[in-house]
Amino acid sequence: MALLEVKELKTYYYTLRGVVKAVDNVSFSLERGEVLGIAGESGCGKSTLAWALLGLVPPPGRIAGGRIVLDGIELTKLSEHDLRKKVRWKKVSMIFQGAMNALTPVFTIEDQLAEPLMIHKGMHKNEAREKIAQMLKAVGLDETIMKRYPHELSGGQKQRVIIAMALLLNPDLVIADEPTTALDVIVQAQIMNLFKQIKKKYNIGMIFITHDLSLIAEIADKVAIMYAGKIVEIGSSDQVFGNPRHPYTQGLLRSIPRIRSKEKITWIPGVPPDLVRPPPGCRFFPRCKYVKEQCRKEEPKLKEVEPGHFVACHLYG
């Protein structure tokens, strides 16, 4: 059985302007030891998807349908109390966007890291201290950092503390939402190396969310491309990068400048649609160069174009 099974998940924001369908009928599964990369432009619903997995969609949003099954437990059926006691941080932890600001400035690193251990595991502070020291070492930090306050650490060190915090309770699933956006290139490469080591060492599932396809290629085994609240292409990373089928994926890959190639980069004209009133049919058709009559009327379903490689596009099938 898969570690995580998401079926037809819908997460909508009920605003005064109308219903924003931020995540609309998204399905995927994830095995233990696998990294799923989710890529898409800003506003495509990738962060909302992450919040939905933790049951933390900010109001006026909520999960409007579908199922999330983690390790046999149906998260969508749990009460808020059970979610907090049994799931969050114990089973699913998250590395939030802008993790630089995720630490409290008024507590030392030790106090902050001890909290989840004391509350969830009922550990005494001294036991917790030992566990924290181990974890800090695992993410490449020195023990002495325990007594420091967040403002005494550099950006990269803070990010490592956040990663240590996410791994503290040995969760089954770690969600990382744009974990390196605020970091410099060199620090980013160091943090990506840390993620690779974690992937090797701990047998956990990981969801890596970013707008940067190059970073996804660095870590993900499986890639899902999101556009306007839907997954338009999903497959192994060799399939998606080596043989992209959806016009949006192709466009995205052609828009990335590469350091050693002078190949001309192109762009996708137009802007993503308003999710209150998405276009009928395929949501990408106003920007697509292969658009045909069918695309304006009928919504394409995800179809398997090769084993394990699904594309939602009328060009195929």
Binding site for other proteins (CB under 8 A): 35, 41-42, 154-157, 184-190, 192-193, 196-197, 211-221, 237-238, 241-242, 251-253, 255-260, 262, 265-269, 271
Contact 224, 9 (CB under 8 A): no
> Closer to other proteins at the Cβ: 11 or 210?
210
Q: Least distance in Å: CB of 269 to other proteins? A: 8
> Closer to other proteins at the Cβ: 11 or 239?
239
> Closer to other proteins at the Cβ: 75 or 282?
282
Does residue 60 have a cis bond before it (omega within 30 degrees)? yes
Q: Least distance in Å: CB of 85 to other proteins? A: 35
> Closer to other proteins at the Cβ: 70 or 183?
183
C-alpha pair distances (Å), 185 with each of 90, 156, 189, 190, 229: 32, 11, 6, 9, 29
> Closer to other proteins at the Cβ: 63 or 204?
204
Coil vs helix vs strand at 97: coil
Determine the length of the chain: 317
Q: Least distance in Å: CB of 13 to other proteins? A: 19
> Closer to other proteins at the Cβ: 1 or 259?
259
Sheet with 73-74, strands from edge to edge, namely: 18-30, 4-15, 61-70, 73-74
Q: Least distance in Å: CB of 96 to other proteins? A: 20
Q: Least distance in Å: CB of 155 to other proteins? A: 7
Give the integer Cα–Cα distance in Å for 161 and 6. Answer: 29
Give the integer Cα–Cα distance in Å for 240 and 251. Answer: 12
Q: Least distance in Å: CB of 187 to other proteins? A: 6
> Closer to other proteins at the Cβ: 65 or 269?
269
Q: Least distance in Å: CB of 142 to other proteins? A: 12
Element holding 11 (H helix, E strand): strand 4-15
Contact 284, 232 (CB under 8 A): yes
C-alpha pair distances (Å), 288 with each of 41, 122, 225, 315: 16, 55, 15, 11
